[in-house]
Amino acid sequence: MTKVIVSNQKHPLDTYLRTDRLPHIWCPGCGIGAVLHAFLRALLDSGVDLKKVALVSGIGCTGRVAGYVRLDSFHTTHGRALPFATGLKIANPELKLVVFSGDGDLIAIGGNHFIHAARRNIDMTVICVNNFNYGMTGGQLGPTTPLTGRTTTTMRGNIEEPFNIPYLAAAAGAVYIARWTTAHIHSLEHSIGEALAKKGFSLVEAISPCPTYYGRMNKQPTGLDQIRYFRYNSIVRHGIDPRLVGIEANGQIVVGKFVDIERPYIPGATGSGNGRTT
C-alpha cells in the first residue's frame, strides 16, 4: 500500500532541543527521551514564558536532560539539583523551576534535599525518572530497586526494602504527586502539565525502562519487554493512599494522581514570605 517515509526532516520539537547533540546518548529502548518529550509538550502547552523557565538536573543518565534542552538549564553536582533549584527560585521568584533528574540522584544522593524541599514546599516541579537502579554507573542497587530485584551488585536479589517515592514525598509535604510509566505517555504529559500549573512542590514520578541494566538483569532484556510489562501490569488508582503504592519486583504498578492539596509555599506571591495571603 501507500508508503510515505521522508528522511532528513526536522522534528516539531527540534526548536526546543540542542539538535547538534542529537541523537542523544541514551541506550536504545531507554525511556528517558520519551519523558523529556512529554515534558516539552506539557511545557509548551502550559503557556509558560520559556525565557522564565530554568531546568535543573543532577548527575546520572537522566541528569543529561539539562544538556539537551534549548532552555536555561543547569547541570549540577550529584544529588544537589534541588538545593541549586531552591537557590534560583529564592533569588528570582519569577522563574519557573523544573528539576529533572533520576531516582538515584534525587532520592539517594539527594534524599535529604528532597525531603526538605518538599517540607518547605518550595514552588517547583520535580520530574523524577525512576528506572530502579543506577544506570549510568553500571546498574548498581539503588534505594528504589524493588525487593528481590536483581542488579549488578545484588546478583541474588535485593534484600533491602526500597523507598516508595510518592509516599516519601507525601510524608515530607509535597502538594502534588503523580506517577506514570513511559507506557502511559499521554497521562504523563497531562500530569506534568498539572504539576507545572501547581503552586508549591509538585512531583511527577515517571517509571522508565533501563533495558541495559535493570531490564537485562530481571528477565526483560529489551526496552520493549519492559514497556510491555508496564503496559500490562499497571493499574490506575487516582487518589489512593500513597502508602499503598510500593512496587514489587515484576509486580503490579499503581499509577495515577495520588495527592493534590494546597499548602503555603515558598516563595509566596509577593516574592518572599511563605505564600500566606493574610
Task: Tell me the C-alpha to C-alpha distance, in Å, between residue 63 and each of 28, 75, 125, 221, 250.
Answer: 17, 7, 15, 23, 26
CA 148 to chain centroid, in Å, comes to: 24
Partner touching 14 among ligand SF4, another protein, none, CB below 5 to 8 Å by kind: another protein
- Least distance (Å) between residue 228 CB and another protein: 7
First CA to last CA distance, the chain: 67
If one asks whether residue 27 binds ligand SF4 (CB under 6 A), the answer comes out as yes
Q: Which is nearer to another protein, 174 or 227 (CB)?
A: 227
Single-letter residue type at 167: Y
Q: Which is nearer to ligand SF4, 151 or 202 (CB)?
A: 151
Partner touching 80 among another protein, ligand SF4, none, CB below 5 to 8 Å by kind: none
- Least distance (Å) between residue 196 CB and ligand SF4: 24
Q: Which of residues 105-144 bind ligand SF4 (CB under 6 A)?
A: 131, 135-136
Partner touching 135 among another protein, ligand SF4, none, CB below 5 to 8 Å by kind: ligand SF4
- Least distance (Å) between residue 130 CB and another protein: 15
If one asks whether residue 36 binds ligand SF4 (CB under 6 A), the answer comes out as no
Q: Which is nearer to ligand SF4, 50 or 224 (CB)?
A: 224
Task: Tell me the C-alpha to C-alpha distance, in Å, between residue 215 and each of 131, 188, 227, 249.
Answer: 9, 21, 10, 11
CA 273 to chain centroid, in Å, comes to: 28
Sheet holding 176-181, edge to edge: 72-75, 53-57, 96-102, 124-130, 201-207, 176-181, 253-260, 234-236
Q: Which is nearer to ligand SF4, 28 or 239 (CB)?
A: 28
Site string for ligand SF4, 174-213 (x = CB under 6 A): ------------------------------------xxxx
- Least distance (Å) between residue 238 CB and another protein: 21
- Least distance (Å) between residue 253 CB and another protein: 17
Q: Which is nearer to another protein, 38 or 117 (CB)?
A: 38
- Least distance (Å) between residue 32 CB and ligand SF4: 6
Binding residues for ligand SF4, total number by CB under 6 A:
12
Torsion of CA 223, 100, 255, 184, to 10 degrees: -50
Contacts of 74 (CB under 8 A, 6+ apart): 54, 55, 56, 57, 66, 84, 85, 88
Q: Which helix (H) or strand (E) holds 205?
A: strand 201-207
Task: Tell me the C-alpha to C-alpha distance, in Å, between residue 250 and each of 148, 150, 209.
Answer: 9, 11, 12
Q: What is the spatial distance between Cα 259 and Cα 9, in angstroms, rounded to a whole number?
A: 41
Contact 172, 146 (CB under 8 A): no
Residue choice 32, 115, 178, 227 for contact with ligand SF4 (CB under 6 A): 32
Binding residues for ligand SF4 (CB under 6 A): 26-27, 30, 32, 61, 131, 135-136, 210-213
